[in-house]
Amino acid sequence: MDELIRIAIAGYGNLGRGVEAAIPKNPDMRLAGIYTRRPPEQLVPLDGATPVFGMDALPDHGDRIDVLILCGGSKEDLPEQGPRLAALFNTVDSFDTHARIPEYFAAVDTPAKLNRKTALISAGWDPGMFSLHRAISEALLPDGATYTFWGDGLSQGHSDALRRVPGVAGGVQYTRPIRDAMDRVRSGSRPVLATREKHTRECFVVLQDGANAEEVRRAIVTMPHYFADYDTTVHFISADELARDHHAMVHGGFVIHSGNTSAASAHVIEYALKLGSNPEFTASVLVAYARAVHRLHALGQYGAKTVFDVPPGMLSIKSPEQLRAELL
Amino acid sequence: MDELIRIAIAGYGNLGRGVEAAIPKNPDMRLAGIYTRRPPEQLVPLDGATPVFGMDALPDHGDRIDVLILCGGSKEDLPEQGPRLAALFNTVDSFDTHARIPEYFAAVDTPAKLNRKTALISAGWDPGMFSLHRAISEALLPDGATYTFWGDGLSQGHSDALRRVPGVAGGVQYTRPIRDAMDRVRSGSRPVLATREKHTRECFVVLQDGANAEEVRRAIVTMPHYFADYDTTVHFISADELARDHHAMVHGGFVIHSGNTSAASAHVIEYALKLGSNPEFTASVLVAYARAVHRLHALGQYGAKTVFDVPPGMLSIKSPEQLRAELL
């Protein structure tokens, strides 16, 4: 009898590799397989013993997998894969297009419920742990205000945007929270902060041969949505410097809530993440929620779920008795 | 039809007053009554319209109360009241004798289950929110280490202890985390820290007439369990200074977890509370968990529960749909 939770990975990019690295740190789990759209023989997993399959093998592998972790992107992959695979497996994903979460939740909920599966959507750190802290803090101190700051960190979306600017050969973008704004929030004054007052954006760009630096700079800092609403600085560096100094996918941020329980008594709740690798940390969150999904499913709790629906003790390898004795 | 959650308070000290102050900040609740061991007519509630009863009226008031918040102490009151009242009401308490939690859980669980009631024990911030963060952080980064620091804050237990020293007319004790230790923890080095390396204790003492300051100081700093294992400093102040400068029940602390997802990638998760009033914040946590207890009870989840068992969304006044749309 196999008592370990059998986890499988659908999609083998940075996030999928992070899940693969996280499994051995959880002794109640084993990696049952990696499913990829690439030719399976081209993929070299960390552990050579891990079976690799084409994504199209999934429908036949229902009896091999307890929880399937969907490691595709929110733009192209998950809107299609999430609803389809939630009909076949218990799933966990990191769908992170905040504005479309209600629609995605509904699209996953129906097939999961119909097929008695449990599908946890939008796990990770934001959405995910940060969402949890926004909700809990607001519930504990309803007379208060919550602020989310991101960074210092490498933003994938903004890095992609600046690489599309004509004349740019390569580059990355860092989001940095403005310390003065954070201090004002921590003071409990509940400031109203404009976009520009919360974060700055710092770009490190490699120019294409013959490109005009000032034109490239202007095209970046005036780009609507991505950079125009921020104080954006652009540094030009060499391709060697880019490769040497800017490969770590560091990220993190802060959820700060200040509130009052009475006129005389003010409080500040702060949750901070400092992440050496954004995809690896996100993957570790997905893996902990996979444990919870396995348990929710065993309890007959079917359908789409979010971090708001999961009793925190279910994330832990420890038993309820152990948690109460050791951590309460 | 009364659609508001009817909360009642058992025990009217600092914590009970904190609950009373918190209820109006939660528009889905109303305060149904305050129950006290004092003669009810001696008690003046914040809102004169709130009914006040003797504690012995409770057994007849089962149909007036949805959730009873137990605001007594963990040493004398709760071990007796918790199991007895969990047979009659849905309850929330802040039982905080960490070592005796398993025993207390069992003592409350049996009568609650027998009578189809829901009893949430050991809510507050430690045990409570800090416990939640220890468990979640450990689950997200199992290859890691968790550290709890308390302070800067006024410790009730240690203040009581120093006031029992012969020659002491009054005084308070502050627990202070050692910043160097916190920085070492934040660096991810997972240090082994002795008790003395994590916190200092600072006492402000008013001497009785004729008492010998040096003798009092020595009696305090050598007191086993309370002070001997720490670097303790004692300041002698006047009764006026004590009253003027040391009445705020400030407290707080930090749960810091550092861990690795791979050899190359280290992460730090930090949760920090800065509390203007320890009892008022604790009370606000109890009130949020009272909402969850009301909902758990409606779902038929009877027996003793802890913060580990409560889906975080149940703490919020917002609907699951709202939470997903606004906070995820």
> Would you state the pLDDT for residue A132?
98
- Joined together, the tokens standing for residue A118 give 């449990």
pLDDT digits (tens, 9 = 90+) for A151-183: 999 988 899 999 999 999 999 999 999 999 999
- Give how far B324 is from chain A: nearest CA, Å: 6
Classify the C-alpha dihedral A239-A245-A247-A251 as positive or negative.
negative
Q: How far apart are the C-alpha atoms of B234 and A156, rounded to whole Å?
A: 53
Q: How confident is the model at residue B156 (pLDDT cuts 50, 70, 90)?
A: confident
Interchain CB distance below 8 Å, A262 and B21: yes
> Would you state the pLDDT for residue B1?
41
Interchain CB distance below 8 Å, B261 and A276: yes
Q: Are strands A144-150 and A251-262 parallel, antiparallel or unpaired?
A: antiparallel
pLDDT at B2 over 60: no
Phi-psi region of B272 (alpha: psi -120 to 50; beta: other; left: phi over 0): beta
Percent of chain A with pLDDT over 70: 99
* Contact list, B308 vs chain A (CB under 8 Å): 311-313, 316, 320, 323-324, 328
Which one of B140, B269, B294, B317 makes the best mutation probe of the A interface by having the most chain A beta carbons within 10 Å?
B140
Q: What is the DSSP string of B289-312?
A: HHHHHHHHHHTT--EEE-GGGS-G
Q: How far apart are the C-alpha atoms of B149 and A4, rounded to whole Å?
A: 35
From the centroid of its chain, how far is CA B93? Answer: 9
> Would you state the pLDDT for residue A1?
41
Q: Which residue of A has its CA nearest to B308?
A: A313
Classify the C-alpha dihedral B21-B27-B30-B35 as positive or negative.
negative
For B253, half-sphere exposure in the C-beta direction (CA atoms, 13 angstrom radius) is: 26
- Give how far A52 is from chain B: nearest CA, Å: 22
**3-class DSSP assignment, residue A239:** helix
Interchain CB distance below 8 Å, A101 and B275: no
> Would you state the pLDDT for residue A2?
53
pLDDT digits (tens, 9 = 90+) for A203-239: 999 999 999 999 999 999 999 989 999 999 999 999 9
Q: How far apart are the C-alpha atoms of B59 and A108, rounded to whole Å?
A: 47
Q: How far apart are the C-alpha atoms of A93 and A287, rounded to whole Å?
A: 10
pLDDT, averaged across chain A? 96
Percent of chain B with pLDDT over 70: 99
| CA-to-CA separations, B322 to A119, A217, A306, B25, in angstroms, rounded | 19, 41, 12, 19
Q: How far apart are the C-alpha atoms of B262 and A276, rounded to whole Å?
A: 10
Q: How confident is the model at residue B157 (pLDDT cuts 50, 70, 90)?
A: confident
Q: What is the DSSP string of B194-227?
A: -HHHHEEEEEEEEEPTT--HHHHHHHHHT-TTTT
CA neighbor of B125 nearest in space, from A267, A50, A13, A93 = A267
- Give how far A299 is from chain B: nearest CA, Å: 13
**How many H helices and E strands in chain B?**
11, 14
- Give how far A62 is from chain B: nearest CA, Å: 27
- Give A213's contacts (C-beta < 8 A, 6+ positions apart): A207, A236
Interchain CB distance below 8 Å, B274 and A267: yes
Interchain CB distance below 8 Å, B307 and A328: yes
Q: How far apart are the C-alpha atoms of B327 and B307, rounded to whole Å?
A: 21
Q: How far apart are the C-alpha atoms of A174 and A154, rounded to whole Å?
A: 4
> Would you state the pLDDT for residue A157?
86
* % helix, strand, coil for chain A, step of 5: 40, 25, 30
* Contact list, B106 vs chain A (CB under 8 Å): none
Interchain CB distance below 8 Å, A312 and B315: no
Q: What is the DSSP string of A104-132?
A: HHHHHHHHHHHTT-EEE-S-SBTTBHHHH
Give the neighbor-by-neighbor strand order of the sheet with B303-305: B52-54, B29-36, B5-10, B67-70, B90-92, B118-120, B303-305
Q: Which residue of B has its CA nearest to A312?
A: B308
Q: Which of B270, B273, B288 sits opposite A139 (nearest CB)?
A: B288
pLDDT digits (tens, 9 = 90+) for B6-32: 999 999 999 999 999 999 999 999 999
pLDDT at B273 over 50: yes
Interchain CB distance below 8 Å, B323 and A276: no
Give the neighbor-by-neighbor strand order of the sheet with B265-275: A144-150, A251-262, A265-275, B265-275, B251-262, B144-150
CA neighbor of B70 nearest in space, from B104, B43, B39, B44 = B104
Interchain CB distance below 8 Å, B122 and A269: no
> What mean pLDDT is predicted for residues B246-258?
95
> Would you state the pLDDT for residue A191?
96
* Contact list, B280 vs chain A (CB under 8 Å): 261-262, 265
pLDDT digits (tens, 9 = 90+) for B57-87: 999 999 999 999 999 999 899 999 999 999 9
Interchain CB distance below 8 Å, A328 and B127: yes
Interchain CB distance below 8 Å, B129 and A140: yes
Q: Which residue of B has its CA nearest to A265?
A: B276
Interchain CB distance below 8 Å, A261 and B135: no
* Contact list, A268 vs chain B (CB under 8 Å): 272-274
- Joined together, the tokens standing for residue B122 give 């050991």
φ, ψ for residue A186 (rounded to 5)? -65, -25
Q: Which of B261, B281, B328 sits opposite A261 (nearest CB)?
A: B281
Interchain CB distance below 8 Å, A261 and B271: no
Q: How far apart are the C-alpha atoms of B293 and B310, rounded to whole Å?
A: 8
Helical segments of chain B, H only: 14-22, 78-86, 101-114, 129-140, 156-163, 179-186, 195-198, 213-221, 239-245, 278-298, 320-326
> Would you state the pLDDT for residue B21?
97
Which DSSP letter does residue B125 get?
Answer: B
> What mean pLDDT is predicted for residues B284-292?
98
- Give how far B129 is from chain A: nearest CA, Å: 9
pLDDT at A264 over 70: yes
Which one of A137, A278, A308, A310 makes the best mutation probe of the B interface by having the most chain B beta carbons within 10 Å?
A308
* Contact list, A327 vs chain B (CB under 8 Å): 131, 134-135, 138
